Amino acid sequence: MQISSRFTIAIHVFACMEVFGEDYKITSDFLASSINVNPVIIRKILSQLRNAGLIEVARGTGGTTATRPIDEITFYDVYLAVDLLEEGELFHFHENPNPNCPVGKNIHTALDDRLLHIQGAMEQEMKKYTIADVVNDIKKCLTVPK
């Protein structure tokens, strides 16, 4: 199991919008230069964030902005927007365990509830952290005063 890099890229996007938004237009090319990925990847993530209602993207070189204060956007919000879960489940169960094997026949019974509990705990923890937490830590690290 691994949450895709889309999650951390999306957090990076929000941090750039907040740190640079007053001085620069936040475009996919601008973001790609900070994140060091192809602008196509950024545009896909921006589309996912827009579809989730977390950002607004102006056409052309208009830039990108958050739709609400960053202290109201949690890691969980971002996770839901960019890491598409199959049927809402973080853990993808291997297909067709052997029903003739005592382990294969019972693996779902032994594992499903535990995995759902783990996913729930992770999601609850993600709700505790906001984009503002990240931005505040980045601003503490900046050596050049704004």
Q: Which two tokens stand for residue 120?
A: 């729930």
Give the per-residue pLDDT at 93: 77
Look up residue 145 and give its DSSP letter.
-
Region of residue 53 (left: phi > 0; alpha: psi -120 to 50; beta: else): left
Kindly report, residue by residue over 26-64, the tens digit of the pLDDT: 999 999 999 999 999 999 999 999 999 999 988 766 789
Taking 3-state DSSP, the helix, strand and coil percentages for the chain, each rounded to the nearest 5, stand at: 60, 10, 35
Instruction: Give the pLDDT score at 146.
Output: 52
pLDDT at 63 (0 to 100): 85
**Which residues are within 8 A (CB) of 14 and not within 5 positions of it... i.e. 6 or more apart?**
66, 70, 73, 78, 131, 134, 135
User: Helix, strand, or coil here: 79?
Assistant: helix
5-141 topology per CATH: Arc Repressor Mutant, subunit A (1.10.10)
Question: Smallest Cα–Cα separation from 73: which of 125, 138, 130?
Answer: 130
List the chain domain ranges.
5-141
Q: Give the per-residue pLDDT at 145.
A: 56
pTM of the model: 0.84
